[in-house]
């Protein structure tokens, strides 16, 4: 993510607030409710349903609070639309759970596990620093393979706000000084791929399947996402930093409300190509993973029902793969 698109807050109808700050306590409440439902489900799934229902209600409020961040600050079509859609979907999920659709407890468990993986990176400075610096170093190495010698710096500021020293006090910014006004591309937590990794890990670990098979699929998914994310950062950094995607600048500036023409390459490569491309890649990866771990179909079937209102039987489509995997051996589960 470019450091140039980070802002301090947003003013909506005269009310000034920081959506991320407002959403943080909600995040902890959601995680507590989801994990609480997982614990209660070990004894009685009927009692777990109301706990999970509360969690989904809080999840809707969480996305409602965070939506302005993606829409007005990040100006991301994919993330903004996703956050808006997540509000009614979360409420609908809670409604279905309350009325007895117990299969949604698996999806609830998946999101709880996802939070256990992601939240430590979000809230723990040393852990966050480790992954951001690792991704920065690896992207820098990939740049050298393309023939470009990157300059990595730290301590940058934007609009008078020293965002690097306050939030990321380490070197994670690529400096492109070839232009009249230097361009910077800063690696932050959202650029590390840990969000996508935690989503897939939560789903894989939440389903009931032999542990050896789950771990094999998990390692494959993590490896694929991590490598593709490095390539994504490489493409965005070079296209933006070297201004290689200055296509239809006036149209793009009008579409995103930009005042700086240098940001056109960033918005084309990241906000348009990379984000929409990531959705397509992750959908394809999900299909591949279901072939290796058909138990994931219970989560995907519920997600499809939430979106379309139609029941699907994906388990039948992957029945052959499940039988070929063979019965679980003792100690696998």
Please give the positions annotated as active site.
191, 232
CA distances from 58 to 7, 46, 182 (A): 26, 20, 43
* Range list of H helices, the chain: 19-41, 45-68, 77-98, 104-123, 125-145, 163-167, 194-206, 211-241, 249-256, 264-266, 275-292, 297-308, 314-317, 319-324
> Which residues neighbour 149 within 8 Å (Cβ) at sequence distance 6 or greater?
143
Residue 47 CB neighbour total at 10 angstroms:
11
Across the beta sheet with 183-186, the strand order is 151-153, 173-176, 183-186
Query: 255 by DSSP, 3-state: which?
Result: helix
- Sign of the dihedral through C-alpha 195, 126, 227, 112: negative
C-alpha 29/C-alpha 43 separation (Å) is 22
Q: Answer whether 128's CB lies under 8 Å from 50's CB.
A: no
C-alpha 333/C-alpha 150 separation (Å) is 47
Six-digit token string for 116:
């256990």
Residue 317 CB neighbour total at 10 angstroms:
13
Task: Give me the residue label for tokens 């009692």.
Answer: 47
Phi, then psi, of 186 in degrees rounded to 5: -105, 130
């Amino acid at each position: 993510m470019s450091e140039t698109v980070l802002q301090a807050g947003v003013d909506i109808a005269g009310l000034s607030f920081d959506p991320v700050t407002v959403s943080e306590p909600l995040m902890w409440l959601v995680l507590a409710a989801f994990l609480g439902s997982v614990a209660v489900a070990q004894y009685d799934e009927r009692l777990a349903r109301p706990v999970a229902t509360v969690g989904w209600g809080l999840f809707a409020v969480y996305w409602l609070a965070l939506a302005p961040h993606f829409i007005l600050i990040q100006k991301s079509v994919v993330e903004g639309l996703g956050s808006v859609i997540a509000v009614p979907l979360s409420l609908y999920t809670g409604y279905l759970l309350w009325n007895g659709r117990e299969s949604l407890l698996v999806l609830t468990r998946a999101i709880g596990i996802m939070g256990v993986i992601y939240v430590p990176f979000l809230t723990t400075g040393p852990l966050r620093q480790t992954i951001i610096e690792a991704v920065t170093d690896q992207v820098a190495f990939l740049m050298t393979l393309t023939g470009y010698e990157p300059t990595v710096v730290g301590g940058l500021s934007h609009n008078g706000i020293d965002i690097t020293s306050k939030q990321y006090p380490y070197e994670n910014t690529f400096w492109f000084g070839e232009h009249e006004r230097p361009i910077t591309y800063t690696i932050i937590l959202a650029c590390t791929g840990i969000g996508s990794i935690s989503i897939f890990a939560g789903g894989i670990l939440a389903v009931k399947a032999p542990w050896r098979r789950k771990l094999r699929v998990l390692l494959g998914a993590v490896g694929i996402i991590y490598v593709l994310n490095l390539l994504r950062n490489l493409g965005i950094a070079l296209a933006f930093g070297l201004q290689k995607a200055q296509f239809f600048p006036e149209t793009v500036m009008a579409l995103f409300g930009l005042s700086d023409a240098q940001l056109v390459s960033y918005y084309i490569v990241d906000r348009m190509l990379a984000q929409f491309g990531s959705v397509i890649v992750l959908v394809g990866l999900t299909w591949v993973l279901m072939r290796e771990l058909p138990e994931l179909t219970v989560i995907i079937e519920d997600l499809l029902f939430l979106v379309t209102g139609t029941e699907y039987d994906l388990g039948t489509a992957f029945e052959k793969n499940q039988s070929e995997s063979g019965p679980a051996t003792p100690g696998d589960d």
